[in-house]
Amino acid sequence: MKDITKLFGSMVFNDSVMRARLPKEIYKALKKTISQGTHLEPDVANVVANAMKDWAVEKGATHFTHWFQPMTGATAEKHDSFISPVGDGKIIMEFSGKELVRGEPDASSFPNGGLRATFEARGYTVWDITSYAFIKDKTLCIPTAFCSYAGEALDKKTPLLRSMEAINKQALRILKLFGHSDVQRVITTVGPEQEYFLIDKEMFLKRTDLVYTGRTLFGARSPKGQELDDHYFGSIKPRVAAFMRELEEELWKLGVYAKTKHNEVAPAQHELATIYTTTNIAADHNQLTMELMKSIAGKHGLACLLHEKPFAGVNGSGKHNNWSIATDTGVNLLAPGETPCENAQFLLFLVAVIKAVDDYQDLLRISAASAGNDHRLGAHEAPPAIVSIFLGDELTAILESLENGTAYRNKEIPQLEIGVTALPHIPKDTTDRNRTSPFAFTGDKFEFRMLGSAVSISGPNIVLNTVVAEVLRQFADQLEQADDFSKALAGLIKKTYHEHKRIIFNGNNYAEEWVAEAKRRGLSNLKTTVDALPELVSPKSKELFTRHQVFSEAELKSRYEILLEGYCKTLQIEALTMVDMVKKEIIPACIAYQNELAELLGRKKACGSYDFSLEDYLLEHISKLSTCLLKKLTVLEHELLESKEKQELLSLAVFYRNRVFAAMLELRQIVDELEIIVSKKHWPLPTYADMFFSVL
């Protein structure tokens, strides 16, 4: 049996490895750079690089790569070997500090939203010293930021690191007012839960739509889906269990805190949850998790689907982002604490999050927006597009009592005196969970449930960190000027809750009544990605991100352009795939089945025993559907042709949403009807039932 304690982190150049392999003065200099953000001197970098190379070679590595996260949502790598010629046809293994610290990939070939042109191709990858290097596939992977020649961020890591610095700066101001002079750094932490589907790889390869788009563009509902609730937490099938075991071991080697695994609600759906860690590391780890899920699934004859809605009619896949704030002294600032002073601090950070979510609900919606997630939000246990906060009845009642100046009593909690200094202990987990809420408080953290399964968690956490940093800045500006801190603190908590409690909703987020109530409260309801994205470049958003130096205006505009372009390209690829499948697979199948039916009818007539029969009915029905199929196909092709006339990106996105997608839905309806009546022998695509229940 493998010793997990020795396995864990065995492929990571982590702190214990650095302490053992680096000279003491070099180790101290490196740790100072990591903790204080000071410059890494070239002589230190050279020693670290050599030690890192020696360690990697001992582990079997032959190459190194700067592992970065461009705005594709995936990761990118360019591999170089350690070899260096020394003459006489011989080599040595070398790795310099310069190679460790900086690389130079092409910057114009990745999505850049206009920041780079082809003739401005130079870009740089820069070592993110806060994220440990690791070995994957015999390659030393060095986590890096990615920027252009002019210094613009071309990736997801750079603005995430900036947002972490923004919330650190403002939170330290608040903690200083509470007398915490020992706190040197405040970090945000995240524990993402990753949902995914596993289907047989052979079936996956027979579905052109899954191969090209990640979701089924056609497919009639299976006779059995998730109606019996028998898959959720059910026993794990042997092939899936073997995949999960290998996935866990590989993740543990890379220092990923893979903790929980289980079957999810939909058939063939599963989940992996990790223990929280620093947001930057959590983002790196989640990218690794998604990558390994796909590669390891293939080894087991499986295909891993990370699309938010690969199958219609059953649950889609989300990624729950469990977010909190902590100090370098080990204090969770969203934990209620044991003393009145800690409770006052907790309540201030709590109402800061409430205000941030209310003030910037549109940005949170944008951070979870994608063409894929538009299919998922609003049903089958996914939250709606309306952003709201679930606090639970008890915590809401405590805040109400503070606002109203009334006593709060609970049989398990002493009377709540008004005046923050006399708050009692506030226990965690005193209320039920709300699986329909987009943003739920769960005892000592917030669970942001809107994220789609395929998204990088960097985007949502950039927004979360920045909007909370902005509110903490506003709070610090007020409290630093106060003559009576305690009085000002109590007043600020009451005032903030009163002004922003509209965002709190503890009920059923699926109810139609909530839609009407949210509108009455003035909450936004941005139903689609196209509705949401323009808010990203509003004057309010520009002021927020530039104030905290998370994005420049140019960088923000580039993200807007990339997201819009990504939406349009996604629908274009899906529509073209539908056209291709109908012409090359669906129509030939229908013709073949009609020919078989016609031949059978011909034989019956030749025998003189002909009467109106099942074959007549099927032939007539398929003939009518086939005619309709051709009409709907023609409409979709016409809409795609017309889309080429749209030059402005937002207009194009609106056209794709309103016209192209509508034509796609109508075409799908016909194909799904045909699937039900065309014989299995002729139907070219594995059905939902085939894919759901083929993995044993």
DSSP 109-135: SS--TTS--TTS-BEEEEE-TTS--EE
Q: State which of 122-136, 344-358, 408-422 shows the largest mean pLDDT.
A: 344-358
The residue among 73, 112, 72 whose CA lies nearest residue 561 is: 112
pLDDT tens per residue, range 409-461: 654 544 444 344 444 455 555 555 667 889 999 989 999 999 999 999 999 99
Supply the pLDDT for residue 422: 43
Q: Is residue 556 part of a domain?
A: no
Last residue of a domain, one of 493, 516, 551: 551
Residues 365 and 514 in one domain: yes
Supply the pLDDT for residue 318: 94
pLDDT tens per residue, range 190-228: 999 999 999 999 999 999 999 999 999 999 999 998 988
Token pair, residue 104, equals 């130079």
Q: Which pLDDT band holds residue 14 (cuts at 50, 70, 90)?
A: very high
φ and ψ of 164, to 5 deg:
-65, -35
Q: How far is CA 624 from CA 1, 442, 523, 587, 669, in A?
A: 62, 54, 47, 13, 14
Residues 320 and 450 in one domain: yes
Supply the pLDDT for residue 418: 38
Reply yes or no on whether the pLDDT at 344 is more than 60.
Answer: yes
Alpha-carbon span 493 to 671, nearest angstrom: 57
148 three-state secondary structure = strand
For tokens 């309010």, the residue is: 540
pLDDT tens per residue, range 586-633: 999 999 999 999 988 888 777 766 666 788 889 999 999 999 999 999
**Residue 236: how many CB atoms within 10 A of its CB?**
16
Reply yes or no on whether the pLDDT at 177 is more than 80.
Answer: yes
Reply yes or no on whether the pLDDT at 332 is more than 50.
Answer: yes
Q: Find the range with the poorest average confidence among 56-70, 191-205, 380-394.
A: 380-394
Residues 147 and 167 in one domain: no
Residues 441 and 578 in one domain: no
Percent of the chain surpassing pLDDT 90: 73
Q: Which pLDDT band holds residue 101 (cuts at 50, 70, 90)?
A: confident
pLDDT tens per residue, range 652-691: 999 999 999 999 999 999 999 999 999 999 999 999 999 9
Q: How far is CA 113 from CA 348, 459, 646, in A?
A: 38, 16, 18
> What CATH code is carried by the domain that includes residue 14?
3.10.20.70
> Bigger pLDDT: 394 or 467?
467
Residues 84 and 180 in one domain: no
Give the number of residues written for the chain. 696
Q: Which pLDDT band holds residue 342 (cuts at 50, 70, 90)?
A: low
Residues 236 and 117 in one domain: no
Q: Which pLDDT band holds residue 316 (cuts at 50, 70, 90)?
A: very high
Q: Find the range with the poorest average confidence among 101-110, 207-216, 271-280, 505-514.
A: 101-110
Helix (H), strand (E) at residue 619:
helix 614-643
Supply the pLDDT for residue 609: 62
The residue among 462, 420, 480, 487 whose CA lies nearest residue 175 is: 480
Alpha-carbon span 394 to 426, nearest angstrom: 9
Contacts 24+ apart (CB under 8 A), 400-407: 402/347, 402/490, 402/493, 402/494, 402/497, 403/494, 403/497, 403/498, 403/501
Last residue of a domain, one of 495, 528, 551: 551
Last residue of a domain, one of 113, 128, 155: 155
Q: What is the pTM of this model?
A: 0.93
**Residue 423: how many CB atoms within 10 A of its CB?**
26
Average pLDDT, the chain: 90
Alpha-carbon span 558 to 283, nearest angstrom: 21
Q: Where are the alpha helices (DSSP H) in 582-613?
A: 587-606
Helix axes 458-479, 279-299, angle to 10 degrees: 170
Supply the pLDDT for residue 200: 97
Residues 101 and 167 in one domain: no
Strand partners, 102: 126
Alpha-carbon span 490 to 340, nearest angstrom: 12
Q: What range defines the domain where residue 634 resides?
A: 566-692
